[in-house]
Chains A and B, each alone.
Chain A
Amino acid sequence: MRTWDTFNELVALQRELNRALDTYLPEHTSSRDWPVGFLPGKSARAYPLINISEDKDNFYVEALAPGINTSSLEINVARKTLRISGEKMNLNDIKPEQIHRSERSGGKFIRSVELPVEVDSNGVKAKYSQGILTITLPKAEDAKPKRIAVDVQ
């Protein structure tokens, strides 16, 4: 006998809707990029926020992450996917009764970003300054546009 579980039903419905949206929307706006959940928790909001820009040779991913414990920061690249993980320092060492105001949340985070083309994982560089993490990802040779000379006869 199966029992009715409302939350399971809602999660299933959400999955169904996401799948429907995925087929409708263009690649970059897939519903996976909308971190909306029926049971929003701390992780429901994508963290860190990112900006992506590109030029001919590279992608530049900038993550807005002030106050990160730099030793915890980890960046992985596999094919098209970039994964950023780390930990933002929080007020854990401070007793709750000492805290007047706590607006900056902290804790561990992980975020994956899918790039439009494959990147050369050996050439990835990362820089962390002024609370912004900038990752430079060179595009893979195969992905770069090639100029084909036309022989005119």
Chain B
Amino acid sequence: MAEKTIQTQTEKGDLQKLENTRNTEEYITPAVDIYEEEKGLALLADLPGVNKEGLDIQVKDDILTIQAHADYKNVATPFYKEFDIQHFFRQFQLSEKVDASKITAQFINGVLKLSLPKAEETLPRKITIEIG
């Protein structure tokens, strides 16, 4: 008899498909800026309508996952609408050069700032040459 159970596989380094895990809620991809800083990378993400408790940042198998649950309610009876706040989800493949244990996060005015420091061994080192 043929094996009917389908083995689920998560290969290391595979960006997870959100469809596998998410429930019926809708998610949007937040806009991000990524730039180099002296000691590593910095990531800025716009996450309006999210409070600190709704924010979930994880690093697993070199994949950085940013998930945010917005708690936005209409103040009163809406009569003109241009935006709707939904939950946010985005994943990034980290290079192994990033030291995952030293990632720090700040969250001010709906903007998340992640500092991703590079691992010690990849930082440039000055080598002094002795002239004999």
CA distance A136 to B44 in the complex (A): 29
Q: Which positions 37-52 of chain B face chain A at CB distance < 8 Å? A: 37, 41, 44-51
Q: A-side interface residues toward B, CB under 8 Å?
A: 28, 46, 49-55, 58, 60, 62, 64-68, 70, 91, 94, 98-104, 128-132, 134
Interface size on B, residues (CB 8 A): 32
Partner of A130, one of B48, B81, B83: B48
Tell me the bound Cα distance from A113 to B68 in angstroms.
30
B46 is contacted by which of A66, A70, A91 (Cβ under 8 Å)?
A66
The DSSP consensus for interface residues of chain B is strand
Chain B residue nearest to A89 in the complex (CB): B111
B48 lies within 8 A of A104 (CB): no
Instruction: Give me 22 A-to-B residue pairs in the complex whose CB atoms sit less than 8 angstroms apart, sorted by A's number.
Output: A49-B83, A51-B82, A52-B80, A53-B79, A60-B76, A64-B48, A65-B48, A66-B110, A67-B110, A67-B111, A68-B109, A91-B35, A98-B36, A100-B35, A102-B33, A104-B33, A104-B46, A129-B109, A130-B50, A131-B48, A131-B50, A131-B111
Q: Say if the beta carbon of B75 comes within 8 Å of chain A.
A: yes
